[in-house]
Amino acid sequence: MATQDDRRIIILHNFTKSDYSRLLLSLRSVGLADNTIVAVTTSTTMEWKVSHLLEELLLEDESLKNEKS
The reported pLDDT for the residue numbered 53 is: 97
In angstroms, rounded to a whole number, what is the distance separating the alpha carbons of residues 63 and 41? 20
Q: What is the pLDDT along the chain (69 residues), one digit of tens a residue?
A: 455 567 899 999 999 999 999 999 999 999 999 889 999 999 999 999 999 999 999 999 999 989 887
CA distances from 64 to 5, 54, 57, 58, 60 (A): 19, 15, 11, 10, 6
Q: At 10, which helix (H) or strand (E)? A: strand 8-12
Residues 37/57, Cβ–Cβ less than 8 Å: yes
The reported pLDDT for the residue numbered 6 is: 72
Task: Give pTM, 2 decimals.
Answer: 0.81
